[in-house]
């Protein structure tokens, strides 16, 4: 790629800095949502948490809705990538896959997403954005689950089996919201992984 002049050489680090700022804002936004909920999460609070000026935050994300939907999407994508990376050669052990899928719904990302969903159910400004985001993230998670579980969706019932498993994972995330539900969750995962094994063959 010859012909890079001085101006372009200087531009690259600036783009890097801008991208780093954006990422810091997105990560701070998810942490803020998880810790304080929607009511306690403003662009200013996130900017302070990220160590970024309010002006810079608003340059990247003009509205509060922009910031928080982008944040949940960004972290969801990061988690999807990490999940695929856990099983680079496909998964030999379906129980490990089920456990990893369920883990998607028990950390700060799920707590943040939950706050956003619940707020969207009462706020008309937020609702269409979050509905669309949830559908997109849900489709991607389903695709990963099908791949990692080596589920053949052409067979009747397989699609619904995987969907029900992801619904259960979401419900387990909810059960973990107020108390540490890890011990019970592990037993449920073991049992349902066994049911899944029988169904997927």
Residues that bind a copy of itself (CB under 8 A): 35-37, 39-40, 111, 114-115, 117-122, 127, 130-131, 134-135, 138, 157, 160-161, 163-164, 166-175, 177-179, 184, 187-188, 190-192, 194-195, 198-199
Q: Whose Cβ is closer to a copy of itself: residue 56's or residue 175's? A: 175
Q: Whose Cβ is closer to a copy of itself: residue 12's or residue 174's? A: 174
CB of 3 to a copy of itself, least distance (A): 50
> Rounded to an integer, what is the distance from CA 57 to the centroid of its chain?
21
CB of 33 to a copy of itself, least distance (A): 10
- DSSP codes joined into one string, 48-92: HHHT--HHHHHHH-SSHHHHHHHHHHHHHHHHHHHHHHHSBTB-S
The residue assigned the tokens 């101006």 is 7
| Residue among 132, 134, 113, 104 nearest 31 (CA) | 113
Tokens read off for 36: 């304080």
- DSSP codes joined into one string, 103-125: HTTSSHHHHHHHHHHHHHTT-TT
Q: Whose Cβ is closer to a copy of itself: residue 10's or residue 198's? A: 198
CB of 135 to a copy of itself, least distance (A): 8
CB of 153 to a copy of itself, least distance (A): 12
Q: Whose Cβ is closer to a copy of itself: residue 52's or residue 112's? A: 112
CB of 27 to a copy of itself, least distance (A): 19
Q: How far is CA 188 from CA 81, 172, 192, in A?
A: 25, 9, 6
């Amino acid at each position: 790629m010859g012909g890079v002049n001085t101006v372009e050489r200087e531009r690259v680090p600036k783009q890097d800095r801008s991208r780093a700022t954006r990422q810091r804002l997105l990560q701070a936004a998810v942490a803020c949502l998880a810790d304080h909920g929607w009511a306690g999460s403003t662009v200013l609070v996130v900017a302070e948490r990220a160590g970024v000026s309010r002006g810079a935050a608003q340059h990247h994300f003009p509205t509060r809705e922009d910031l928080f939907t982008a944040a949940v999407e960004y972290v969801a994508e990061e988690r999807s990538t990490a999940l695929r990376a856990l099983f680079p050669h496909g998964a030999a052990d379906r129980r490990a896959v089920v456990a990893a899928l369920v883990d998607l719904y028990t950390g700060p990302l799920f707590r943040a997403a939950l706050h956003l969903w619940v707020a969207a159910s009462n706020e008309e400004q937020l609702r269409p954005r979050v509905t669309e985001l949830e559908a997109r993230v849900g489709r991607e998670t389903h695709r990963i689950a099908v791949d990692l579980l080596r589920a053949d969706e052409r067979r009747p019932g397989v699609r619904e089996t995987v969907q029900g498993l992801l619904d259960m994972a979401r419900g387990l995330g909810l059960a973990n919201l107020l108390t540490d539900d890890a011990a019970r969750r592990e037993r449920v995962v073991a049992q349902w992984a066994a049911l899944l094994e029988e169904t997927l063959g």
